[in-house]
Structure 1
Amino acid sequence: MDNFQPAADASHFLVPAKLNLDLRIIGRRADGYHLLETIFTLIALYDHIWLRKKTNGSITMHTPVTGVEPQQDLCVRAAQLLRSHTGTEQGADIWLNKKIPIGGGLGGGSADAAVVLMALNRLWQLNLTTDQLLHLGVQLGADVPFFIFGQNAFARGIGEDLVPICLPKQWYVIIKPPVHISTAKIFAHKDLTRNSKPRIMPDFQAGQHWRNDMQSVVLAEYPAVREAFEALAEYGSPMMSGSGACVFLSFDSESAAQAVYNKVSDAHQAYCVASLTRHPFYQ
């Protein structure tokens, strides 16, 4: 999708991915949603979005994602939700260059939706507050509020209750296995634990044991994820992000991360990226 050409007067926005450095399932609501506690970090792996406002009210996705119907595309849904909520008669042209792997647990679709909400709020001069955007974002997906929040966070609930957390600079080697994980399947799995002890607020300490309560279930169900996990396990203690499929290993230095990336990237779809402290939209 690198050969398309957005309109010259379209505004460009960087869309960062995320990792779940820790993810615990502490219960389930009456409506079936799982109650989580997680530590989110932004990472320098980006989708690219271009937006151009229109006056005729139409929302046009010029770069549809393969296999996704336009009306199901999160960018389109975000624009339509914002337009419906505010009653504006404005519209938008949207171009998306997808670099964050789909179905990897890196939040790419949610990140795209968040940027569309934030950017069109600015381009359409709607002046919604961040809290109002957060309320809209959770209607699109549990990870969307984090990207609107725009900084590393400890999240509770279904992911919408966010508190800033200070994280040290890290570099990550990420492997994306060639498999798509069904989040619904994992959440419904008989072996998934849902009784982790809630925490008030974690401290990020070197050597602290982080975990992902979905990881053992995914590793058992998806051999490709286990293979990627074992490839990184030769160099440290990897973890899975979200409900997978991506697994990652953290490093204190770029050189150490690059050395491991060089070893695993021949056999796997891999990335070597730095952590971020703030969303580029707010910088």
Structure 2
Amino acid sequence: MSFRQHSLHDCPAPAKLNLFLHINGRRADGYHQLQTVFQLVDHGDTLHFDLRADGLVRRTTIVAGVPEEIDLIVRALRLLALEFARRHGRPAPGVDVAIDKRLPMGGGLGGGSSDAATALIAVNHLWQAGLDRAELMALSLPLGADIPFFIFGENAFAEGVGEQLQAVTTRDCWYVVIEPGVAVPTAAIFSSEDLTRDTKPVRIADFSRHLVIQTDRKGFGKNDLQPVATRLFPPVAEAVRWLSSYGDARMTGSGACVFCAFSSELEAEAVLAKVPQVWGGWKAQSLQRHPMHALLQVGRVIE
């Protein structure tokens, strides 16, 4: 990452995988109670930030299907600008945002949320806005429960609607991720009458114990959204079936991407080489911490 007084370039926005995803109930407001473990991986988008002198927040890259006004990056930074003005008594400097987009939309990888989180971390630093990590997480929560996780910056056991986070240690491994070529709308999955909504709650200790005693490749728990998504979107079902011949393949989030863990990069590469050309596919290493923490020394900057 290059750093100058007026810009931050090459800022990573990593993908996440849901190692399991249980739906425990539905609240009166319609939101679902869930439990999951968010896993960071070293594959994602890259963002670039340059200060403006006119106070505007602008996205300089065209993203197909995502107008600038509804982009989570822009919406998040405009919230930060309002908070900056409230705290400092003057308008925020403004910023241009460019993005190298690698993560697919509707893939369950948290791409838009990760982009927004990286934007908040970077621009908070660039503007010297002064928000700490908890304040950035609270600021972003109204835009989506995944954004606070990426700001949290560590693999996490999540509860509630995904906003209650506890840091958790996960396996050091490699993943093969398949993009089946469809975009799965989250609302369609959560609104399905076929969705399991009564999975028994687990504890973070149950997940951690499974990692210790694990003697095969079977992952912890399941993804309650997967049966609905595979029924509605056959390419997701086909990807799960194909990748399951190499291990415990499962869908991440509400889909559409499918992943499987491997103990070594060589093993992951061997499977990746066999992925049918009709799908996209890539390998990624597990991360224990968001790379923006190291790049900006977040422990001293926003905590």
| TM-score normalised to structure 1 length | 0.94
User: Could you tell me which residue of structure 2 aligns to residue 19 of structure 1?
Assistant: 17
Q: Give 1:8 shift.
A: 11
- The residue number in structure 2 matching 1:192 is 195
Whether contact under 8 Å (2:92, 2:127) holds in the other structure is: no
Give, as a single letter, the amino acid of the residue that structure 2 aligns with 1:47. D
Aligned-pair identity in percent equals 45
Structure 1 residue 55: Cα displacement: 2.8
Residues 3-59 of structure 1: per-residue CA shift (max 9 Å, x gap): xxxx99631211111000010011112211111100001001120100012231111
Among 135, 139, 142, the alignment partner of 2:138 is 135
Q: Which has the higher helix share?
A: 2
Amino acid paired to 2:25? G
Pairs within 5 Å for 1:90-101: 90-101=93-104
Instruction: Indicate the residue corresponding to 1:175 in structure 2.
Output: 178
230, 250, 258: which is aligned to 1:219? 230
**Aligned 8 A contact 1:55 1:89 in 2:** no
State whether residues 72 and 116 of structure 2, in contact with CA within 8 Å, keep that contact through their aligned partners in structure 1.
yes
Name 1:282's counterpart in structure 2: 293
Structure 1 window deviating more from structure 2 (210-219 vs 264-273): it is 264-273
Do structure 1's residue 268 and structure 2's residue 265 form an aligned pair? no
What is the deviation of 1:226?
A: 0.8
Q: For residue 265 of structure 1, report the CA deviation from its aligned partner.
A: 5.0
Which structure 2 segments of 5+ residues have no match?
A: 86-90, 295-303
Given candidates 237, 256, 259, the residue that maps to 2:267 is 256
Instruction: Give the corresponding residue for 2:88.
Output: none
Aligned counterparts of 1:175 and 1:8: Cα–Cα separation in 2: 39
How many matched pairs?
Answer: 277
**1:15-164 counterparts in 2 under 5 A?**
15-87=13-85, 88-164=91-167
Query: Residue in 1 aligned with 2:254?
Result: 243
The DSSP-based 3-state class of the residue aligned with 2:13 is: strand
Deviation (angstroms), 1:208: 4.7
SS in 2 for 1:264: coil
Show CA shifts across 1:192-243 (max 9, x none). 0111111231214224543100001111111111111111012122000000
The runs of 4+ residues in structure 1 deviating greater than 3 Å are 7-10
For residues 68 and 193 of structure 1, the distance between their equivalents in structure 2, rounded to whole angstroms, comes to 31
Query: Could you tell me the TM-score, scaled by structure 2's length?
Result: 0.88
SS in 2 for 1:15: strand
Gaps of 5+ in 1: 1-6
Question: 1:74 Cα deviation (Å)?
Answer: 1.0
What is the distance in 2 between the residues matched to 1:126 and 1:168? 35
User: 2 CA distance for matches of 1:170 and 1:57?
Assistant: 43
